[in-house]
Chain A
Amino acid sequence: MVWQFKADRPIYTQLVEQIELRIVSGEYSPGSKLPSVRDLAAEASVNPNTMQKALAELEQNGLLYSQRTSGRYVTEDENMIRKVKDTIALEEIKDFLQKMSKLGFNSQETISLVERIIKEMIPQ
């Protein structure tokens, strides 16, 4: 996954989101150790303080935990990860449904469209 930031939103909120994504997608697997703040910041090309802030927030909400001497780790609590995954998915779906509604589709039409596209995307 590549780090990508929009210019008009605070970086640290975007960092929180993108790290969450990496956690729920398994890129940072449960229980795994995260790179140091500085390494992560360098990887994302962002300010280390900002990265620190993002990581601190993720610690706050339980996705990450830190061990004083050895660093930061992804939680092993799979339920929590599942919950975050679901929350993110829900947001995406809500967004999508709103957009479809703006385009003029009702719920039935939207569902049919989704089913059709999924069938097309699965290799025969």
Chain B
Amino acid sequence: MLGKLFKYEIKASARIFLPLYASLILFAIINNIFIRINNSSNNNQLFMNIMQGISTFAYVFLIISIFVFTLFVMIQRFYKNLLGDEGYLMFTLPVRTGEHIAAKLLASMMWVITSVIMTLFSVMLIAYNEKFFASFQEAISQILTEINRVFGVNGYAYIVEFAVFILMVLATNILMIYASISVGQMISKHKLLGSFGAYMGFYLISQFIISIILVIGYSAGSRHWTSIENIMQNNTTIPHFLFAGIMLLNLVFAAAYYTITNLILSRRLNLE
């Protein structure tokens, strides 16, 4: 059932994203063309410059739009599909509440990641020239060599950990938004206000908890902190412990937000 829910979630949101991505690619290509034209000819300098300016502006605008849209669609899909009229259909499907949350979470994450990939891809499109692949390969190998030099074998581990960390933080934040919306929908007359309030509340509480942990952590281990760089270069275990700790904390927060959302939607669903 989760797979099916995910499938429909993607279908519903793809209608918005695919055209955006297509436009992004289009403008990237246009910009690439303009750059080439500008580099090669000297005629109509002003006109081409203006055109390029407009095109660049459109391109940047599109990138910003894509990220704004990703956030907006994430919220809107959750609210409209689960808490609006469509909720009467969704919540009477023979599906666990948790599966609804998971499907939306996974879809949202997918779109964020796709948006990032699309943006990077569009940047590469703009920069594309005949020597592109060669210089790209060179750049990547330079970066990897540098990482290797500074961090040793750990470097690759750090890259993986960093990626997992980003995903985890993404999931936690999305769940925090969902939890806030769920809290808000319980308050009949002030759903929007309630959601904002809940979000503020969650943010403050989570920051508070993190601060406490940091303070405790720092004072407990102050003997060990020489310099982060030193540790990361020389010590092979502490950074990974740190990482595990941060991941665990995030996991706890994510689980909390998920549970809150699940409980509210199962027991305190307030469809109008």
A and B touch in the complex (CB under 8 A): no
Binding site for B on A (CB under 8 A): none
